[in-house]
Amino acid sequence: MGNPPKENRFFDQARETMDWEKRKVKLNKNFLETFHHAFRYSKAYREIFDSAGIEMSDIKGMEDIERLPILRMDDLVERQKKDFPFGGFETADPEKIRRIYINPGLIWQPGEWDYQDTSWAEALCGVGFGIGDRIVNTFNYHMWPLAFMLDKSVKMIGATVIPTGVGNTLMQVKIMQMLKVNGFMGTPSFVMTLAQRAEAMGLDLRKDFSLETALVGAEMLPESLRTRIENMLEMTVRQGYGTVFLGCIGYECQHMTGLHVPDNIIVEVVDPNTGRQVKSGATGEIVATNFNTSYPMIRMATGDLSMLTKESCPCGRTGLILKKILGRIDQATKVRGTFVHPWQADEVISQYSEVFKYQVVITRKTHKDIMTFVVELKEEITQPGILQARIERDIKDMLTVKGVVRIVPRGTIPDLHKKIEDRRGWD
């Protein structure tokens, strides 16, 4: 049994390419089952829905999902402290758990119940893995669940996993070389570490290795780094995005149109303040609902910002696509009482092709915050004052707080800079 070409690999082609109307019916059914199940059997959800004044009959389908409260990690942690160890989110008898995972901050997660999550398996096929591939899994097998989830998913797609975990770079390099490993899972920075180690050992990265595909995650992947790794090792690098409690939320296929949302999860992009969905293509916080029958996550907030679209992709997948991850909501800075997010500043500046580079600097003078957009232009222009005024007007419109624009010569803003730099002194 051979593999189809990389760009045509699916975990379940019929499901991943079904038309939107059919998909909606299926997601709706899964959502209602999860909601009813959580309402009946989870103490935490019953309390959460009760205090939001929601009765079981109020929610008739996915169109009512926005009525349900957003679940934040802080709420989950609080509930785990009160109702030790799982916070009452569990819907099955704790004796049936075969694993307890530990997340940073001692947040407990029950695992190995009856629920089979296929979201990472779908991602593995989507990024190009297939039957017979030998994949090193360099995510940490100690305590955290991600490595185990991926391990299980590799088996689901008929490939072979080598559970190397993190560290031991010398051994890892040898394992990859000797076993002719053609797949890698781990962080982008760990690929770089291994490549540097191999070079230091005198190995030829292109000739001595058989790597073809990498699924990277858990870190941002700047395009410059992706290109560097791809050229260095002659391999394809694709991203998977998810959280341990929700599973995979998005993955890139060969065509890189964005992150495909797996078909066993509902993903929304919402206004973090109201929990209401933003319009298609607008920026907001990623919130997701999975159909885990033992530890369901309903409208769990990720803290990550992105945009959701219904664009089509040449690979044939028909689900929603998350455009790239733009950053965290907690990277926002408060200016005169209003939150300013790096992505909002990007949105303002992206409209001006004249701009080469910019940075937002926040200072404080006589107890007043001053927000300055320091801007470098691609080339000198004849009437900088007009451009300045236009950007200032957009800042006021889009950020709802006043800012000034200062045009500076090329080379003023350092290469490595924070998008929003807070220089306020508080003494």
Nearest distance from residue 210's CB to Zn ion, in Å? 25
Please state, as a whole number, how many other Cβ atoms lie within 10 Å of the Cβ of residue 59.
Answer: 19
- Provide, rounded to whole angstroms, the least separation between the CB of residue 361 and Zn ion: 39
User: Interface with Zn ion by CB under 5 A: which residues?
Assistant: 253, 255, 313, 315, 317
Which residues lie closer than 8 Å to 326 by C-beta, 6 or more apart? 283, 304, 305, 306, 307, 342, 343, 346
- Beta strands of 244-291 (E only): which ranges? 247-251, 259-260, 265-270, 283-290
Q: How far is the CB of 352 from Zn ion (least distance, A)?
A: 31
Nearer to Zn ion, 65 or 123 (CB): 123
Identify which of residues 315 and 375 has a Cβ nearer to Zn ion in the complex.
315
Which among 252, 222, 228, 258 is positioned nearest to 239, based on CA atoms? 252
State which amino acid sits at residue 256: M
Rg (Cα) of the chain, in Å, rounded?
24
Helix (H) or strand (E) holding 421: strand 420-422
Query: Considering beta carbons, is residue 227 or 312 the nearer one to Zn ion?
Result: 312
Q: How far is the CB of 313 from Zn ion (least distance, A)?
A: 3
Pick between residue 299 and residue 317 the one whose CB is nearest to Zn ion.
317
CB 238, min distance to Zn ion, A: 10
**Number of helical H runs and strand E runs in the chain:** 11, 20
- Other beta carbons less than 10 A from residue 131's beta carbon: 14
The pair of three-digit structure tokens given for residue 150, joined into one six-digit string:
């991926």
CB of 344 to Zn ion, least distance (A): 29
| Closest CB to Zn ion among residues 89, 120 | 120
**Closer of 165 and 316 to Zn ion (Cβ):** 316
